[in-house]
Amino acid sequence: MRFLLALFLALSLAPPARAADKLTVLLDWFVNPDHAPLYVAQAIGAFEAEGLEIEMIAPADPNDPPKLVAAGKAEVAISYQPQLHIQAAAGLPLVRFGTLVATPLNTLVVLEDGPIKEIADLKGRKIGFSVGGFEHAVLGAILKEAGLGQGDYELVNVNFSLSPALISGQVDAVIGAYRNFELNQMDIVGRPGRAFYVEEHGVPPYDELIYLTNKDLVGDDRLKRFLNAVEVGTQYLINHPDDSWAKFIALNPDLDDELNRRAWRDTLPRFALRPAALDIGRYERFAAFMKAAGLVETTPPVESYATALR
């Protein structure tokens, strides 16, 4: 009886279990190895340990996530640093509060066994692209460094068929190919490519993927706890890549193929080990590049659209 009475008192006096705080995260694209830190954090219970319940949603249109966060329809969006500079100049109420992939993934790709051995060889050639604007600016910077101007090459819109257009000979090079995906795709089908890395040819380094939130939510404690969990997930991912892959595939079994295994390997060294850290000078340099390229008219103070949570 004494034991039962003590148990009853302990249960009746114990504080009620706290419900997890919900957070909606809009991905930039369909689920892929670029999102590994989030799924590993989820699999090892890092979000749960921070009292968070995370819902990750792949968008129907990759342009939608920042707009939905700006409109208050979700708390977090994964997006791209170059797009953030454009959105900030346009006055959208968005703030970068963390980094997912801390290096560019974008490359200029040619066939390894093709006639293009150096960038200057693209004079008089066709170059494929899928998205205008930023890709054109990147390409212009790369070719300018090699002494080529706009009249020295022909641009061809190949939509999202970058690798097929290059392999078929429709174009001689493509801009916008991701080093962790398209290069592996080409190698798998027996037509390997050679990449010219944009940050080595006139384009300032930038964060390929970042976490955005609405300016009104910058003080929300859930965001800091979210980044804490992501950092734990990233550390586990780097320390235990094979086990992390198994956990990722358990959550996304349809991605268990050769392309995603290779992309997983190649993306590992590019994840932000300190996702909450912010290099203001790096953002200022890239903002100046965007302005010089004519993609933005103004460069607001970095502090107005990027923050390191305290």
Query: How far, in Å, CA of 19 to CA of 22, rounded?
Result: 9
Per-block mean pLDDT, blocks of 10 residues, the chain (310 long): 48 57 95 97 98 95 92 96 94 97 97 96 95 86 92 91 94 95 96 96 96 97 98 98 98 97 97 97 96 92 94
Q: What is the pLDDT of residue 18?
A: 60
Radius of gyration of the chain, Cα coordinates, nearest whole angstrom = 22
Burial readout 46-61 (b: 16 or more C-beta within 10 A, e: otherwise): bbeebebebebeebee
Q: What is the pLDDT of residue 81?
A: 95
Q: What is the pLDDT of residue 219?
A: 93
Q: What is the pLDDT of residue 7?
A: 44
305: DSSP letter: T
Cα-based torsion angle of the residue sequence 253, 61, 280, 268 in order, rounded to the nearest 10 degrees = 20
Evaluate whether 130 touches 160 at the Cβ level (below 8 Å). Answer: yes
Q: What is the pLDDT of residue 199?
A: 96
pTM comes to 0.90
Please name which of 285, 181, 273 lies closest in space to residue 232, comparing C-alpha atoms: 273
Q: What is the pLDDT of residue 13?
A: 54
